[in-house]
Structure 1
Amino acid sequence: MSGHSKWASIKHKKGAADAKRGQLFTKIIKELIVAARMGGGDQASNARLRTAALKARAANMPKDNIDRAIKKGTGELDGVNYEELTYEAYGPGGVALLVEILTDNKNRTAAEVRNILSKGGGTLGASGCVSYLFKRKGIIAFDAAKYKEDDIINVALDAGAEDVSSEAGTIEVMTDPDSFEAVLEALNKAGFNQEMAEVSKIADVNVKLDKEKTEKATRLVENLEEHDDVQNVATNLELPDE
């Protein structure tokens, strides 16, 4: 899993920048709407909605915004009907990309994502071409300047975490998706406040490229994540040590 902590750190920093222009809120609202539409508006019985609401609160989204998004998903308020898609692609050097989409216009988004891939040295692949390289995992990231890794390890592993690692100023706890909430709750009760917590696709093995291709692939991932309809990009690109 070498390199993933760096992606987590980058995503957290990028998230702060997104929030300034409202993009992060827009993406979280979409996720809240879809989660509520698919599993209902009761967070107690809808794990996906609980995770989306957690992300919303971490981004300091007002409660009224969260409640309105959930009501749009359940049909209590009028809302846009978003379609959930996953595009599988290859980036520079053949790195795998899983691009998770929520869109109200599939044709428009497909054309725009293809354009971003083409300009960034990537290509859209067939269904199933790279998805087998990834597994769903819970990721909880902490600022290494605030906490000691050993203290987090003790709580996380006791609560059922799979692994704890430290890299690029980030302490990362990895869990099975089913254990994610229990581990997060245990860490919060112990006084550890996370920088990021989500369930996402993680590569089984990362691919190391030369400096030029790594920079090009990193730019492509960032450009894809800038698109309003892209919720998340998973990749098996390994970032070099700083």
Structure 2
Amino acid sequence: MAGHSKWHNIKRRKESQDAKRAKIFTKLSKEIFAAVREGGDDPSTNLRLRMAITKARAENIPSDNIERTVKKASGEAGAVDYDEITYEGYGPGGAAVMVKALTENKNRTAADVRHAFSKNGGNLGENGCVSFMFNRKGQLIADRKDEIDEEEFMLEAIEAGAEDFESDDQSFYIQTDPDNFEQVKKDLESNNYEFLKAEIILFPDTNTALKDEHAEKMIKMIDALEDNDDVQSVYHNFEADEEQLSRISY
């Protein structure tokens, strides 16, 4: 599958060990808030809100908390509004990086993102410098469970309209056209499949392997960016295998 790499699994293991619930809730609340302000509080007609709520539920955010955030966002005028900003640049070794942020303080966020890049050997670029290397795709990730037959799951995914299907020792990965994403998800959920993540993301056209010293800095840069409350998503074309990751500290 284009854009998939072992880095995803390392990231998942790290998240399971040290994720801070408050930080996750802050990021998801901001996304829900921005979605409501943009398209209203009805998930049936607001795709962005529908997807934000799906993410929140996947992270086990209580329904009461989700509902309170939606109500707050749809309340009185004058409530905080977030600016959506995309930063583009290159990580150490030349890997392409895109950062999506939601912030009420653009100067603070720009300074923080620039610092994360420069501290780890990367550099920010102009808008458009790397975005042409990425395409929007739907991604569905399911835990690999003993009761799931891989071949049957793959056939059902393709029949539902998936573009690609891949697996490793932990998970199944389904890629879709963004326009078919919801239908594929709905069809597979109707067959009792559950997903750890279901979202529209940016996939790189090609992946970039890095030398160990650059790979280590790249991982530290990604961690620093994702640790920022204003940063919603970090996309990159960095690819590493388990052998390399075992050699470096991350």
TM-score, normalising length: structure 2: 0.89
Deviation at 1:169, TM superposition (A): 2.1
Change in CA separation of 1:88 and 1:218 when aligned onto 2, cut-off 3 Å: same
**Contact in 2 for aligned 1:88/1:129 (Cα 8 Å):** yes
Change in CA separation of 1:71 and 1:14 when aligned onto 2, cut-off 3 Å: farther
Counterpart-to-counterpart distance in 1, 2:11 and 2:78: 31
Deviation at 1:171, TM superposition (A): 1.1
Give 1:123's aligned residue: 123
Deviation at 1:14, TM superposition (A): 4.5
Deviation at 1:94, TM superposition (A): 0.5
More displaced stretch, 202-211 vs 27-36: 202-211
Deviation at 1:173, TM superposition (A): 0.3
Give 2:39's aligned residue: 39
Paired amino acid for 1:63: S
Percent of aligned positions with the same letter in both sequences?
Answer: 48
Deviation at 1:22, TM superposition (A): 1.1
**Contact in 1 for aligned 2:32/2:53 (Cα 8 Å):** yes
**Contact in 1 for aligned 2:29/2:69 (Cα 8 Å):** yes
TM-score, normalising length: structure 1: 0.92
**Contact in 1 for aligned 2:6/2:241 (Cα 8 Å):** no
Give 1:94's aligned residue: 94
Give 1:192's aligned residue: 193
**Contact in 2 for aligned 1:165/1:173 (Cα 8 Å):** yes
Q: Secondary structure at the match of 1:128?
A: coil
**Contact in 1 for aligned 2:29/2:66 (Cα 8 Å):** yes
Paired amino acid for 1:179: N
Counterpart-to-counterpart distance in 2, 1:13 and 1:74: 36
**Contact in 2 for aligned 1:89/1:125 (Cα 8 Å):** yes
Change in CA separation of 1:35 and 1:59 when aligned onto 2, cut-off 3 Å: same
Give 1:229's aligned residue: 230
Q: Secondary structure at the match of 1:101?
A: strand
Q: Secondary structure at the match of 2:61?
A: coil
Counterpart-to-counterpart distance in 1, 2:39 and 2:156: 31
Give 1:172's aligned residue: 173
Could you say what the CA RMSD is over the residues aligned between the two structures, in angstroms?
A: 2.0
Deviation at 1:15, TM superposition (A): 4.5
Paired amino acid for 1:214: A
More displaced stretch, 213-222 vs 108-117: 213-222
Deviation at 1:76, TM superposition (A): 4.8
Q: Secondary structure at the match of 1:4?
A: coil
Counterpart-to-counterpart distance in 1, 2:109 and 2:40: 26
Give 1:148's aligned residue: 149
**Contact in 2 for aligned 1:164/1:174 (Cα 8 Å):** yes
**Contact in 1 for aligned 2:2/2:203 (Cα 8 Å):** no
Counterpart-to-counterpart distance in 1, 2:137 and 2:240: 19
Give 2:246's aligned residue: none
More displaced stretch, 231-240 vs 162-171: 162-171
Q: Secondary structure at the match of 2:139?
A: strand
**Contact in 1 for aligned 2:5/2:240 (Cα 8 Å):** no
Paired amino acid for 1:212: E
**Contact in 2 for aligned 1:5/1:167 (Cα 8 Å):** no
Change in CA separation of 1:121 and 1:148 when aligned onto 2, cut-off 3 Å: farther
Give a deviation string over 1:43-62, Cα, whole Å, max 9, x none. 11111111000011111111
Counterpart-to-counterpart distance in 1, 2:107 and 2:173: 37
**Contact in 1 for aligned 2:89/2:125 (Cα 8 Å):** yes
Counterpart-to-counterpart distance in 2, 1:209 and 1:58: 32
Deviation at 1:17, TM superposition (A): 5.0
Counterpart-to-counterpart distance in 2, 1:6 and 1:197: 19
Q: Secondary structure at the match of 2:241?
A: coil
Counterpart-to-counterpart distance in 2, 1:65 and 1:76: 19
Deviation at 1:6, TM superposition (A): 3.1
